């Protein structure tokens, strides 16, 4: 290669700077800004446009006609009789150099005329090449992104009323624990997604659902510090409006196009993360698949099936689509334009086989026992609204759920019904931009009606209430600190006026990377 060619930018690289427009339409703001900051140039206005009447324009035109070299035009043509910038002229000159076999006086004059622009472009591309090389050397993968989240939680609880001494003895201390999630998101086509999530935690305490289960937090997992595969599923589009999702470790909400709540933005008390209907939105985890249809206008329909013990080959113990499978099948219809939405869901679950049964973090002990005693038919209705701008008006989320359990495996019970509801409010940018304030109130799943086989109708519903208050400090883009207070009124659904009440406080620090 000739010496002067080695001094110039590669045509392919310059093509990046001058792609996507013709000579009069090219956007070279980035190059001009760079040039304006260079030592030899104080303002881009110091450069004059190259007009068709200029000798340089004519000389470049001759090169194009003689050697067939064009730079900066997507259709591969040279459009004459219009002005071009000096940087476009330099890019065009550089593209011709690889084809020139003879150095003429006119060519030397062109090189001298555009020496400054060629040097600036060369330095810019050299810098880009160095950055690309650094990224290629340090990137995790060309197809996979790694996202991590860890929660560190320091907190304790206090108990009052009947049974408080026993609760305090077993769970009255202060604990410090963590939850860690590492998500690997892989895309092969740019539209599909393979999700592999690793998880670890040691919340073997009240925030993991121990003791009074309703203190359980959304992130309250205990793996004994072991790292486990928490998610493994694949999704891909089918046409413009359909999406298929499935895998051996997929959760029911992974197969929903819309989650029917805006509360909370910062996960805390687990019950308040079920859109008010833990029966319909049971967040069952297992092997299965789903499909959803979603329009640009916000309307969507989804249906899914999974088994919580899909890995078993014994049809008497589990598997897929067997009588013993831990089945959870959900259908949701939702309408969610910008800033608000409403959704209705129905879920059939074989709770007696472990499919979608409640746990202590979202219901009273009696309701939890019923959900695991037979097949359940659950309905949920949820809605939410978010203001366009932050201020005094909060986002509002509300939900209600009802579950019917016909013929549960409980002696003397013919049919039972449970219900739940919640309302959540959250203010964004409170006091400081990025900080948020939230509060929620509701009734975790409780037994609302029982029909006995003897026809005796003397059941009196017992239920409790749950409150939550939190304030999230956005310390940096990747670190938040969230103090929270939770209060439980009669979490065991006691009808005694001196029934157990409990309060917990925690400070959660979240790191995202």
Q: Is the distance from CB of 110 to CB of 59 less than 8 angstroms?
A: yes
Q: Is the distance from CB of 70 to CB of 77 less than 8 angstroms?
A: yes
Give me Rg for the CA atoms of the chain. 32
Cα gap 69→436, rounded to integer Å: 58
Cα gap 390→144, rounded to integer Å: 35
pLDDT for 504 equals 97
> 126 phi and psi, to 5 degrees?
-60, -40
Nearest to 279 by CA among 378, 194, 178: 378
Cα gap 149→132, rounded to integer Å: 28
Cα gap 110→242, rounded to integer Å: 57
Instruction: Provide the residue-wise pLDDT of the chain in tens; the chain has 513 residues.
Output: 433 343 333 333 333 333 333 333 333 444 444 334 434 333 323 335 667 777 877 887 887 777 777 655 555 555 556 677 788 788 778 778 777 777 788 888 888 888 888 888 778 778 888 877 777 777 777 789 999 999 999 999 999 998 999 999 999 999 999 999 999 999 999 999 999 999 999 999 999 988 899 999 999 999 999 999 999 999 999 999 999 999 999 999 999 999 999 999 888 899 999 999 999 999 999 999 999 999 999 999 999 999 999 999 999 999 999 999 999 999 999 999 999 999 999 999 998 888 888 988 999 999 999 999 999 999 999 999 999 988 899 999 999 999 999 999 988 899 999 999 999 999 999 999 999 999 999 999 999 999 988 877 667 777 899 999 999 999 999 999 999 999 999 999 887 778 899 999 999 999 999
> What are the angstrom distances between the C-alpha of 173 and each of 65, 74, 153, 211, 501?
85, 70, 14, 12, 17
pLDDT for 345 equals 99
Q: Which domains does the chain have, with CATH numbers?
A: 3-138 (no CATH), 144-169+179-512 (2.40.160.10)
Q: Is the distance from CB of 457 to CB of 435 less than 8 angstroms?
A: no
Cα gap 218→364, rounded to integer Å: 17
Q: Give the 3-state secondary structure of residue 100.
A: coil
Q: Is the distance from CB of 167 to CB of 494 less than 8 angstroms?
A: no
Which helix (H) or strand (E) segment holds residue 55: the answer is helix 55-67
Cα gap 470→267, rounded to integer Å: 10
pTM of the model as a whole: 0.76
Buried b (16+ CB within 10 A) or exposed e, 382-397: bbbebeeebeeebbbb
Q: Is the distance from CB of 154 to CB of 61 less than 8 angstroms?
A: no
């Amino acid at each position: 290669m000739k010496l002067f060619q080695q001094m110039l930018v590669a045509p392919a690289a310059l093509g990046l700077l001058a792609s996507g427009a013709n000579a009069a339409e090219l956007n070279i703001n980035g190059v001009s800004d760079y040039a304006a900051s260079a030592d030899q140039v104080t303002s881009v206005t110091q450069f004059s446009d190259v007009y068709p009447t200029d000798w340089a324009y004519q000389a470049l035109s001759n090169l194009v006609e003689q050697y067939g070299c064009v730079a900066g035009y997507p259709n591969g043509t040279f459009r004459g009789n219009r002005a071009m910038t000096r940087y476009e002229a330099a890019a065009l000159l550089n593209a011709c150099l690889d084809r020139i076999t003879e150095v003429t006086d006119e060519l030397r004059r062109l090189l001298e005329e555009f020496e400054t622009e060629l040097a600036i472009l060369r330095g810019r591309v050299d810098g880009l090449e160095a950055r690309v090389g650094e990224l290629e050397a340090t990137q995790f993968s060309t197809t996979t992104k790694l996202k991590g989240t860890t929660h560190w939680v320091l907190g304790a609880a206090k108990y009052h009323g009947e049974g408080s001494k026993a609760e305090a003895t077993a769970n009255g201390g202060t604990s410090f624990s963590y939850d860690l999630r590492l998500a690997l998101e892989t895309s092969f086509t740019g539209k599909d997604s393979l999700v592999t999530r690793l998880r670890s935690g040691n919340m073997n305490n009240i925030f993991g659902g121990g003791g009074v289960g309703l203190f359980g937090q959304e992130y309250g997992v205990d793996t004994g510090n072991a790292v486990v595969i928490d998610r493994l599923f694949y999704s891909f589009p089918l046409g413009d409006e359909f999406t298929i999702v499935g895998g051996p470790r997929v959760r029911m909400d992974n197969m929903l196009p819309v989650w029917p709540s805006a509360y909370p933005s910062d996960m805390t008390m687990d019950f308040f993360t079920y859109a008010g209907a833990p029966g319909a939105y049971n967040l069952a985890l297992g092997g299965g698949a789903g499909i959803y249809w979603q329009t640009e206008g916000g309307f969507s329909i989804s249906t899914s099936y999974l088994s919580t013990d899909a890995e078993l080959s014994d049809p008497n113990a589990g598997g897929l689509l067997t009588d013993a499978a831990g089945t959870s099948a959900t259908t949701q219809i939702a309408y969610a334009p910008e800033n608000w939405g409403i959704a209705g869901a129905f879920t059939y679950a074989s709770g007696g086989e472990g499919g979608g049964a409640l746990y202590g973090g979202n219901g009273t002990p009696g309701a939890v026992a019923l959900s695991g005693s037979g097949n359940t038919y659950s309905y949920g209705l949820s809605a939410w609204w978010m203001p366009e701008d932050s201020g005094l008006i909060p986002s509002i989320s509300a939900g209600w759920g009802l579950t019917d359990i016909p013929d549960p495996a409980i002696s003397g019970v013919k049919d039972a019904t449970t219900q739940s509801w919640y309302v959540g409010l959250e203010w964004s940018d409170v006091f400081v931009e990025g900080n948020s304030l939230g509060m929620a109130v509701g009734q975790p799943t409780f037994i609302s009606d029982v029909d006995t086989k003897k026809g005796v109708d003397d059941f009196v519903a017992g239920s409790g209430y749950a409150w939550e208050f939190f304030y999230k400090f956005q310390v940096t883009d990747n670190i938040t600190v969230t103090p929270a207070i939770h209060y439980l009124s009669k979490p065991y659904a006691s009808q005694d006026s001196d029934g157990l009440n409990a309060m917990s406080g925690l400070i959660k620090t979240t790191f995202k990377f």
